[in-house]
Amino acid sequence: MGQRVVSWLICNGRFRVHAINGVGERKGRIIEVEEVATGERAHGSSLLMEWLTDRLAGLGGTVSRPTTPMPGTS
């Protein structure tokens, strides 16, 4: 069974969060956070990425988590 890679923006579009959706018994997880302007990416454990995303979202306001896949993935 495959998993789907999704992406959403936080902090009014300043950062893009890349994650893998959960399927079946597998839990979804964040795999990286990217600064849109520079393309710089942060990697780490799923707990660290979740913490970073929560901190950034708290600073920047709204978070929208779409369930559509990133282009080029299925």
Residue ranges per domain, the chain? 5-60
pLDDT at 59: 66
d(CA 65, CA 40): 21
pLDDT at 33: 92
> Mean pLDDT of successive 10-residue segments in the chain (74 residues)?
82 89 83 92 89 80 49 48
pLDDT at 63: 52
pLDDT at 1: 58
Q: What is the DSSP letter of 7?
A: E
In single-letter form, the type of residue at position 10 comes to I
Span between the terminal Cα atoms of the chain, in Å: 12
